[in-house]
Chains A and B, each alone.
Chain A
Amino acid sequence: EAEVAQSPRYKITEKSQAVAFWCDPISGHATLYWYRQILGQGPELLVQFQDESVVDDSQLPKDRFSAERLKGVDSTLKIQPAELGDSAMYLCASSPGAGRGGYTFGSGTRLTVV
């Protein structure tokens, strides 16, 4: 069964440091999403890509967060500098496109900022 790959699974970083997460979507999935999930809450969208273009980044804190999907395949989410409040699970999801079914989520990266 096809999976969305994410790495690392866990990351501990000191505040003010830079941190990056990687996502490889299911092959052929044009749409890629990054979500942040705070413990005990539902996922909240950070950024949505259609191929290599950003479709929605309205909830992305652009002063410290950046995301790219240069070749329209895998994607990187970066935080610089990390803050204590960034501690959360960062989930990547992909889908074939609008109207073609639900997301498939990766297993996520658990970030702890100390």
Chain B
Amino acid sequence: GENVEQHPSTLSVQEGDSAVIKCTYSDSASNYFPWYKQELGKGPQLIIDIRSNVGEKKDQRIAVTLNKTAKHFSLHITETQPEDSAVYFCAASDDGNQFYFGTGTSLTVIP
């Protein structure tokens, strides 16, 4: 089955700086890669996703890049704000049927 690894497990940045979270996957059949933000006591919320036919996708301060050859994808958050503090999960899926999640990154944005 698919194995998704996520790094780092914790990340602290100063407000206004950028944050980068990286994931690798093992199954070349995976073709859909969503990112979720989970705040304390809440369920994960989809923040951005990318399909394997695209190398990069941006949505305001958030971007995701995908390298299919190397089997890794990354989340980039620019101009971080305190409200970006949360746990972020990457996931990999084979056509959106079953999802395999990374172990999460706890992001702290220091005001």
Contact = CB atoms under 8 A, between A and B. Distances in A.
A99 B96 contact: yes
B45 A105 contact: yes
Contacts of B46: 102-104
Contacts of A56: 98
Contacts of B34: 102-103
Contacts, number: 55
A91 B38 CA distance: 12
Interface residues of B, number: 21
B53 interface: no
- Chain A: number of interface residues, binned into ranges: 20 to 34
A42 B102 contact: yes
Interface string B77-107: 0000000000001000001111101111000
Contacts of A98: 95-97
Given A6-B43, A108-B43, 14 more contacts: A4-B43, A42-B102, A42-B103, A44-B101, A56-B98, A91-B44, A93-B43, A98-B96, A98-B97, A99-B97, A102-B49, A103-B34, A104-B46, A107-B42
Interface of A: 4, 6, 40-45, 48, 56, 91, 93, 95, 97-108, 110
Interface of B: 6, 32, 34, 36, 41-46, 49, 89, 95-99, 101-104
